[in-house]
Structure 1
């Protein structure tokens, strides 16, 4: 990661130092407290993992909270580019090639042989608590299920555990299936794929009958008890879907996603994608 991030950092610094509004000559001004790129990278990775307050991180590193905030703001745009620059692009590129006929794939078996990542995909939505927002947007972010203000993000995970797609963040009032429809996720899935979802996506088979969906059987007011075969199917589906639950668990190992999000919502998408890219990097899907 250090090898990849160094030219990006140097390019960013050269652009910053050569801005027209800059009064002082290049080379003037106080140098960074963390002098090497390794130290700067460690700073933001430590912040993502532990998620301390800026004043505490500054106290540990020996400089003030304001400069910690500025450094993390500068490092944020680089993490996804160096950890997994293909996040989202790989899946879209493969699907585009299949849809345009560049790859002759007519069945699930063909897809599994050519692209095992995409043959079986798992879709789920993760939810994180945020600080109580301003009164104007409190209702929008309030989740009736969680009884708190939350942010939701949809994930598409491949058979091998690779994160293929990350949606933009949505306010907590949105239902999982509403996010699925807003993201037009069904349009991005090859017809040969098998997609596994949870109970929050019950309407998907009716709305998109051309695709292969697997959702658990659910009781309702007309059908109070599941049959034995339906229970067995639900158990097998849960064993398949555990893969996406494990990936969400890996994401939440980073305290910035596993605890209450305290920063500006405008940074949430970048931070979430950075953690997803780091997760793919840790799982060796990035070379």
Structure 2
């Protein structure tokens, strides 16, 4: 389906098809038009409009079909689809409109983000030819890449991310990418962050059941209340993995995984700001 056909759909159906709302799509087109619209310019010209070129990239993120299948659908060569995807991703990132706040903003806006939740999500990858053990995740029982997501508990905004190999423990990943945390900021984490209180006293984690013992009624209630608060991080993971490039087995080069993850996360933040 071309953009002319998709533009006739209702906004909710457009989002189901592309993964983003029409307003976000229009903003992305405005960012890309100066570079992708080569009408009347010297050099190679793509036969697709700017809107259709963006649809090719969104289709790749959303459905994660092979570039060969997408190329045959749109009447392009496989190499042209590969170049188009990398060009669109680079232009969107360089524009500055689709970027995460980052660690510095976490420190400067301590009053704005007083409570945040941290969680780790994993994306399966192809079995590496070398150093397979570094990428093997004992939790998922396969080779993965880990992404740590820091989310504002009140709004669901993604503040910053960190990446590691599948073998790295969640808490180890947190220690490798130290965050500029202030004492008055409250951190909500799961059981994978046992020991985080030594680094940041204002942290709340679930109470772990003792060996051959049981939790008290108050401890179970504490765990339930904490789960209700930090479920916002799980919702963010679900929004990210609507784009199947992050949910299914990642077939591309691993060095570009972080760029794509951050770009999709920034697009989710952009849509969140539109709905606010």
SS of alignment partner, residue 55 of structure 1: helix
Unaligned runs of 5+ in 2: 1-27
Is 2:32 aligned against 1:5? yes
Shift of 1:96: 3.0
Residue correspondences, number: 246
Match of 1:42 among 33, 49, 55: 55
SS of alignment partner, residue 251 of structure 2: coil
**Residue 274 to residue 156, structure 1, CA distance change in 2 (3 Å):** same
**Equivalence for 2:104:** 92
Is 2:16 aligned against 1:27? no
Shift of 1:86: 4.3
Mean Cα displacement is larger for which, 153-162 or 75-84?
75-84
Is 2:232 aligned against 1:220? no
- Return the alpha-carbon distance in structure 1 between the equivalents of residues 250 and 62 of structure 2: 13
**Equivalence for 1:190:** 182
**Residue 280 to residue 172, structure 1, CA distance change in 2 (3 Å):** same
Match of 1:124 among 116, 119, 123: 119
Shift of 1:286: 9.4
Q: How does 1:1-287 map to 2 (within 5 A)?
A: 1-7=28-34, 9=36, 27-28=42-43, 30-34=44-48, 36-81=49-94, 84-89=97-102, 92-93=104-105, 95-96=107-108, 111=111, 115=112, 118-134=113-129, 136-158=130-152, 159-167=154-162, 169-185=163-179, 188-209=180-201, 212-221=202-211, 224-284=213-273
TM-score (norm 2): 0.82
CA contact (8 A) 1:127 1:172 kept: yes
Post-superposition CA distance 1:133-160 (Å, at most 9, x none): 11x2201101112110000010100120
- Return the alpha-carbon distance in structure 1 between the equivalents of residues 189 and 109 of structure 2: 25
**Residue 82 to residue 45, structure 1, CA distance change in 2 (3 Å):** farther
**Residue 147 to residue 180, structure 1, CA distance change in 2 (3 Å):** same
- Return the alpha-carbon distance in structure 1 between the equivalents of residues 99 and 87 of structure 2: 21
- Return the alpha-carbon distance in structure 1 between the equivalents of residues 52 and 200 of structure 2: 49
Post-superposition CA distance 1:88-121 (Å, at most 9, x none): 34x62362366xxxxxxxxxxxx3xxx2xx0210
SS of alignment partner, residue 283 of structure 1: helix
- Return the alpha-carbon distance in structure 1 between the equivalents of residues 68 and 136 of structure 2: 29
TM-score (norm 1): 0.79
- Return the alpha-carbon distance in structure 1 between the equivalents of residues 63 and 241 of structure 2: 11
CA contact (8 A) 1:140 1:172 kept: yes
Shift of 1:9: 4.9
Following TM superposition, the consecutive aligned residue runs of length 4 or more in structure 1 with deviations greater than 3 angstroms are 7-10, 80-86
Greater radius of gyration (CA):
1
Post-superposition CA distance 1:35-67 (Å, at most 9, x none): x32222121112111111001101111112111
Shift of 1:224: 1.9
